[in-house]
Amino acid sequence: MSTHTPSVEQRIHAQAKDAGRSAWYYPFIKSVLDVTICLMLLPFLVPTMALIAICIALDSPGPIIFRQTRIRGRQGAAGGSFVTKSGSGPKDISQEPIESWNGCTFTMYKFRSMRHDSDDVAHRQFVEDFIKGGASSAIAGDEDGAPVFKLVDDDRVTRVGRLLRKTSLDELPQLFNVLKGEMSLVGPRPALAYEVEMYKPWHLQRLDARPGITGLWQVKGRSRVSFERMVELDIQYVAERSILLDLKILALTVPAVFSQNGAA
């Protein structure tokens, strides 16, 4: 049974209506801030990233970088709508198969934390159960007792991978996604293609902003946050986004990572 009542969904829709109220200069300043911070951080992080790469190579065979298709967002070039590759005109995201989305996907980078020969069948099933509210986790549920976004005892994860995930260091290569303009430092969690196919219509509102490395849900519990709560927080960010909020989230991310709150 869904944890959402009609009144909650109405509140979510009301938040989404405010999403366009950001100052007109916000996207430009946000992009400049993203690039500036990345360029400032990279000289200090490159040695750490090189050490991580060596540890991954020594721990298990396979590529250093894990690449995965994620959803960029649903703001297309044609008036903010999706246009199919066939050129048939704007389409609603929920009515189009993932393969037909034009320019709305990107390749996200992470340090590989799993065995190279791992398949994603188990994770696909977990995501489906999780979205439906029936998945379980090694970590206790969120404050409402809802299941959280982690697969129980995933034996595909390597020894180095467990440490990388616990400290969020596996996310460092996403700085290059930010430099390419595919992600932002702050934004909703990048969605998986097969995950979006399972969304309810109101879930799609979280795709109305560029995905980010960190966000409200990351600083408010990370894997301890249920799917419904995560979507609520992402939509709240879309509605309230501003440079001040971005800076606040960035500042809160550092203690959240070091405290390993909700990490797994």
Q: What is the pLDDT of residues 238-247, one digit of tens each?
A: 999 999 999 9
Confidence of residue 197 (pLDDT cuts 50, 70, 90): confident
Confidence of residue 201 (pLDDT cuts 50, 70, 90): confident
Per the CB < 8 A criterion, the answer to whether 113 and 60 are in contact is no
Cα separation, 17 vs 246, in Å, equals 20
Tokens (6 digits) for 236: 């709240």
What is the reported pLDDT for 132? 76
Whether the pLDDT of residue 232 is over 60: the answer is yes
Whether the pLDDT of residue 97 is over 50: the answer is yes
Per the CB < 8 A criterion, the answer to whether 178 and 213 are in contact is yes
- Mind listing the pLDDT tens digit for each residue in 119-164? 677 677 777 777 877 554 434 344 444 444 555 456 788 999 999 9
Q: How many CB atoms lie within 10 A of CB 9?
A: 14
Ranges 16-25, 123-132, 219-228, 255-264: which has the least confidence:
16-25
Cα separation, 176 vs 247, in Å, equals 20
Q: Which of 16-25, 66-75, 149-158 has the highest mean pLDDT?
A: 66-75
Cα separation, 249 vs 247, in Å, equals 5
Average pLDDT over residues 96-100: 52
What is the reported pLDDT for 94? 46
Q: Enter the pTM of the model.
A: 0.78
What is the reported pLDDT for 240? 92
82, exposed or middle or buried, with CB in 10 Å at 0-12, 13-18, 19+? buried
Q: Which residues contact 114 (CB under 8 A, 6 or more apart)?
A: 66, 154, 156, 157, 158, 161
| Closest to 74 (Cα-Cα) out of 93, 99, 87 | 93
Average pLDDT over residues 5-20: 49
Beta strand extents in 82-222 (DSSP E only): 82-83, 90-91, 105-111, 184-186, 191-192, 212-214
Cα separation, 64 vs 161, in Å, equals 11
> What phi and psi, each to the nearest 5 degrees, are found at residue 215?
-170, -170
Say what percent of the chain tops pLDDT 70. 68
Ranges 30-39, 152-161, 167-176, 218-227: which has the least confidence:
218-227
Confidence of residue 51 (pLDDT cuts 50, 70, 90): very high
Per the CB < 8 A criterion, the answer to whether 67 and 109 are in contact is yes
Q: Chain centroid to CA 20: how far?
A: 21
Cα separation, 85 vs 87, in Å, equals 5
Look up residue 20 and give its amino acid: G
Cα separation, 225 vs 222, in Å, equals 6
